[in-house]
Amino acid sequence: MRILGLDYGSKTVGVAVSDPFGWTAQGIETINRKDENNLKLTIVRLAEIINEYNIEKIVLGLPKNMNNTSGERVEKTMYFKNRLMKEFSLPVETWDERLSTMGAKRSLLEADISRKKQKKVIDKMAAVFILQGYLDYNK
């Protein structure tokens, strides 16, 4: 079963997919969004990815605060979750994404990737961290 991992943000959506066995997560791309409130182009691109990789489930990062409270980003993420379920008729699970961006930044620094290049891939790497955490937990 292939699973799609998403790091949903106001300007970008980081995208990762699992291998067919559900062991590892690979970063695919970062979808850039021009208008935070318009999901149409994001949905169109996700449909292409879902079809290309035969996705059967979506894991969506849930941006809770460090003290485990929910803020405005959680509300927007839950709206996006509902939209994904409606558009694709696939199960969508949320996964705690706290520290996923920090982990991605640390990995990129350890790989000696320049700060300029980091900005281009950080959301995709955060999606990898979210999906890999989910896969590891469910092994």
DSSP string of 101-134, one letter each residue: HHHHHHHHHHTT--HHHHHHHHHHHHHHHHHHHH
Q: What is the pLDDT of residues 13-46, one digit of tens each?
A: 999 999 999 999 999 999 999 888 899 999 999 9
What the chain holds in terms of domains, given with CATH numbers, is 2-137 (3.30.420.140)
CA terminus-to-terminus distance, the chain: 13
Write down the pTM of the prediction: 0.86
Interatomic CA distance for residues 67 and 47, integer angstroms: 34
Q: What is the pLDDT of residues 65-109, one digit of tens each?
A: 667 777 788 999 999 999 999 999 999 999 988 665 666 556 655
